[in-house]
Amino acid sequence: MFAKDFSHLYSDECNRRVKDKLSNLFLLSQGENVSFLGNGLPQSKYFPWQSVSGTSPIPPFPNGIASNDETKETTSYEIMKNDLKNSSIGASGENSFNLARGLQYQAIEGQPAILNFIKEHLKLIHKVGTHYQDWDVILSLGNCQAFDSILRTFCNTGDYILAEEYSFSATINAAKAQGLKPVSLKMDNHGIIPEYLEELMEAWPKDLKKPKLLYTIPTGQNPQSSSLSSERKQQIYNILQKHDILIVEDEPYYFLQTGEYIPKSEREEIKFNNQQEFIDNLATSFLSIDTDGRVMRMESYSKVLAPGVRLGFIAGSAAIMKKLAAYHLMSIMAPSSFSQIFLNELLQTWKQSGYIDWLIGLRHEYTLKRDGTLDYLLENMPKEFIDNDVVRINPPVAGMFFTIDINASKHKNYNGDKIAMEEYINNKFIEAGVIVAPGSWFEVGSPDEISAIKKIDDDGYIFYRATFAASDLPQIQEGIAKIIKVLKAEF
Q: Give yes or no for residue 314 having a pLDDT over 60.
A: yes
Domain count along the chain: 2
Same domain, 319 and 413: no
pLDDT in the model for residue 43 = 85
Let me know: does 426 contact 437? Beta carbons within 8 Å.
no
Q: Is 95 helix (H, G, I), strand (E, B) or coil?
A: helix
Q: Is 182 inside any structural domain?
A: yes
pLDDT band at 71 (very low <50, low <70, confident <90, very high): low
Q: Is 21 inside any structural domain?
A: no
Same domain, 221 and 282: yes
Same domain, 383 and 455: yes
pLDDT averaged over the chain?
Answer: 92
pLDDT in the model for residue 27 = 67
**Cβ-Cβ contacts under 8 Å for 480 (sequence gap 6 or more):** 373, 376, 377, 380, 466
CA distance 289 to 275: 22
Beta-sheet pairing, 160-164 with 181-185: parallel
pLDDT band at 456 (very low <50, low <70, confident <90, very high): confident
Phi, psi of 148 (to 5 degrees): -60, -40
Cis peptide before 396 (omega within 30 of 0): no
Same domain, 162 and 290: yes
Q: Is 373 inside any structural domain?
A: yes
CB atoms within 10 A of CB 300: 25
Q: Give yes or no for residue 284 having a pLDDT over 80.
A: yes
Share of residues in the chain with pLDDT > 70 (%): 95
Same domain, 295 and 392: no
CA distance 413 to 257: 39
pLDDT band at 34 (very low <50, low <70, confident <90, very high): confident
pLDDT band at 21 (very low <50, low <70, confident <90, very high): confident
pLDDT in the model for residue 23 = 73
* Range in 16-25, 165-174, 175-184, 330-339 the model is least confident about: 16-25
Same domain, 327 and 372: no
Burial class for 46, CB neighbours closer than 10 Å (0-12, 13-18, 19+): exposed
Q: Give yes or no for residue 214 having a pLDDT over 60.
A: yes
Q: Is 157 inside any structural domain?
A: yes
Comparing 282 with 77, the larger pLDDT belongs to 282
pLDDT band at 19 (very low <50, low <70, confident <90, very high): confident
pLDDT in the model for residue 173 = 95
Give the CATH number of the domain where residue 191 resides: 3.40.640.10
pLDDT in the model for residue 87 = 40
pLDDT in the model for residue 271 = 87
Let me know: does 368 contact 264? Beta carbons within 8 Å.
no
Q: Which of 191, 225, 178 has the alpha carbon at shortest distance from 439?
A: 225
CB atoms within 10 A of CB 415: 9
Give the CATH number of the domain where residue 461 resides: 3.90.1150.10
Same domain, 254 and 386: no
Same domain, 242 and 174: yes
Residue 413 CA, distance from chain mean position: 39
Comparing 132 with 28, the larger pLDDT belongs to 132
Same domain, 322 and 391: no
Which of 335, 351, 384 is where one domain is finished?
A: 335
Each residue of 343-357: pLDDT tens digit? 999 999 999 999 999
Q: Is 57 inside any structural domain?
A: no
Mean pLDDT of 367-376: 97
Q: Give yes or no for residue 462 having a pLDDT over 90.
A: yes
pLDDT band at 70 (very low <50, low <70, confident <90, very high): low
pLDDT in the model for residue 141 = 95
pLDDT in the model for residue 455 = 77
Let me know: does 405 contact 392? Beta carbons within 8 Å.
yes
Each residue of 379-421: pLDDT tens digit? 999 999 999 999 999 999 999 999 999 999 999 999 999 999 9
Same domain, 287 and 371: no
CB atoms within 10 A of CB 54: 15
Q: Give yes or no for residue 86 having a pLDDT over 50.
A: no
Q: Give yes or no for residue 158 having a pLDDT over 90.
A: yes
pLDDT band at 30 (very low <50, low <70, confident <90, very high): low
CA distance 120 to 444: 36
pLDDT band at 268 (very low <50, low <70, confident <90, very high): confident
Beta-sheet pairing, 312-317 with 51-57: unpaired
pLDDT band at 204 (very low <50, low <70, confident <90, very high): very high
Beta-sheet pairing, 213-216 with 160-164: parallel
Mean pLDDT of 320-324: 97
Let me know: does 344 contact 114? Beta carbons within 8 Å.
yes
pLDDT band at 458 (very low <50, low <70, confident <90, very high): confident
Q: Show the domain range for 480.
A: 365-490
CA distance 433 to 111: 46
Q: Is 372 inside any structural domain?
A: yes
Same domain, 313 and 400: no
Q: Is 56 inside any structural domain?
A: no
Mean pLDDT of 158-168: 97
**E strand spans, 58-201:** 74-80, 135-140, 160-164, 181-185, 187-188, 191-192
Give buried/exposed letters for 379-394 (b at 16+ CB in 10 A, else e): eebeeebeeeebbbeb
Q: Is 450 helix (H, G, I), strand (E, B) or coil?
A: helix
pLDDT band at 257 (very low <50, low <70, confident <90, very high): very high
pLDDT in the model for residue 94 = 64
Same domain, 329 and 387: no
Share of residues in the chain with pLDDT > 90 (%): 77
Q: Is 345 inside any structural domain?
A: no
Which of 313, 335, 357 is where one domain is finished?
A: 335
pLDDT band at 84 (very low <50, low <70, confident <90, very high): low
Separation in Å, CA 153 to CA 170, 241, 247: 18, 19, 14
Q: Give yes or no for residue 89 having a pLDDT over 50.
A: no
pLDDT band at 88 (very low <50, low <70, confident <90, very high): very low
Let me know: does 402 contact 253? Beta carbons within 8 Å.
no
Q: Which of 394, 481, 361 has the alpha carbon at shortest distance from 433?
A: 481
